Amino acid sequence: MTVTTLRNARIDFLRGVAIACVLILHFTLAFGLLKSPLGDLLGPAAIKAIAFNGNYGVTIFFVISGYLITSGILMRWGSLRGIDVISFYWMRAARILPSLLLALAIIVVLGVLNVPFFNNGDAKPPLPASYFGIAVLSILTFWHNVLMQSAGYFNYCLNVYWSLSVEEMFYLALPLLCLALRRTWLVAAVCVAAIVVGPYYRGLHADNEIYFMYGYFACFDAIAIGCLTALWGPRLALSPRAKLVLRVIAGLALPLIYLRGIAGHEMFGFSMIALAAAGILLGSHGETGQGWTTGWLAAPLRWAGRHSYELYLFHIIVLAAMRNVVTKADLSYAMRLPWLCLFIAVSALVATLVSRYVSEPANTALRGWYRRRKAGVGQQPRSA
């Protein structure tokens, strides 16, 4: 069964905002923006609020992922229990694996060659190149965040991929949950349980960011909020005016919660940012109308949203390479903004090339092969 879906410009924009938060966070950690013209213009407090809360961007991604995956299941198979598990897993693998394997190959090769920021030098003491075996295995089998809870920050590039393990575990568990529970309300009940457990878990580990930001239970509540948004969106049947009001309220709440920061709000801050993102999604459900987020001024962020996966995978490789060119201490005040612009431009170029020549053709080829194989199997005559 082939299902055609229209892209939602507002969701692309929101995803673009999320990846922009992550890019700014990682650049600021690597090179700093406080001692730059932007730092003088906005002030230290504003720079810290904008840059160092970038992990909220990952939370927004989780909400969007839960929403889009659940919506896709409903559109493709009509109900949660109607999901074709093998088809679902194949489609997810076709989208995720080709570009991920390329990124891992680059990091491992340069890491084995002991290139700084690609090796395992973040660990104290540094871990040997042989540790790439368990590190890559943990990424491909969805427990890299768990590995980091025992090993700490050990590889500058691979550290970033913790969130992929959270999403992959969600992709693995959701179809099995749908088939096991069969009833939509039971799946919704599990989502509600995850939403309750999330703040409690983060509260227990508020003194350890690898736990309260990266743990499964620290993140599943945001995904669950996205899932419930997809389930409730069609049922609520909000009017266009009500959707507009919801988008405005949630759109104002999101930056206010973001700028308030993570520190001191470890327990409920992530829940609140997730609910604000869900409000935008709910207010955008089924909407294809015009607005400033669909105009030309918002086009760069919509583009970033459409290429957010490639940006996520490869921006850290670009940043690691740039850190081998110049150190934070050697980067002058005047060069920090141009260096940021170069980082964004090169990351966008790499994301474009990977999307055009790796992700899209591989995704198309793998899904096409699976459809042909499935159709061929279905047409095989039964043996006597």
At 59-100, the pLDDT tens digits run: 999 999 999 999 999 999 999 999 999 999 999 999 999 999
3-state secondary structure of 231: helix
Single-letter code of the amino acid located at 159? N
CB within 8 Å of 3: residues ≥ 6 apart: 72, 75, 76
As a whole-number percent, the residues of the chain with pLDDT over 70 amount to 96
Given a cut of 90, whether residue 212 has pLDDT beyond it is yes
Say yes or no to pLDDT of 1 above 60: no
Contact present, 147 and 136 (Cβ < 8 Å): no
**What is the model's pLDDT at position 323?**
97
182-197 confidence digits (pLDDT tens): 999 999 999 999 999 9
Asked if pLDDT for residue 243 goes beyond 50, the answer is yes
pLDDT reading at 377 higher than 80: no
Query: How many Å apart are CA 154 and CA 281, to the nearest integer?
Result: 36
First and final CA of the chain: distance in angstroms?
29
Q: Once rounded to an integer, what is the mean pLDDT over residues 322-345?
A: 95
Q: What integer pLDDT is reported at residue 380 of this predicted model? A: 53
Residues 164 and 95 sit within 8 Å (Cβ to Cβ): no
Distances (CA, A) of 152 to 55, 127, 210, 263, 312: 17, 11, 8, 20, 21
Q: How far apart are CA 98 and CA 318, in angstroms?
A: 18
Q: How many CB atoms lie within 10 A of CB 368?
A: 11
Q: What average pLDDT does range 107-114 have in this prediction?
A: 97
CA distance to 61, 187, 217, per residue, from 193 (Å): 20, 10, 11
Cα 337 to Cα 335: distance, rounded to the nearest angstrom: 6
pLDDT confidence bin for 5, thresholds 50/70/90: very low
The predicted structure's pLDDT at residue 149: 95
pLDDT of residue 368 exceeding 80, the answer is yes
Identify which of 102, 91, 98, 106 has the alpha carbon closest to the alpha carbon of residue 359. 98
**Share above pLDDT 90 across residues of the chain, in percent, rounded to a whole number:** 86
pLDDT greater at residue 134 or residue 286: 134
Question: pTM for this one?
Answer: 0.93
Confidence category of residue 262, pLDDT binned at 50, 70, 90: very high
The DSSP output letter for 262 is: S
Q: Is the pLDDT of residue 145 over 50?
A: yes
Radius of gyration for the chain, computed over Cα atoms and rounded to the nearest angstrom: 21
Q: Confidence band (pLDDT; 50, 70, 90) for 375?
A: confident
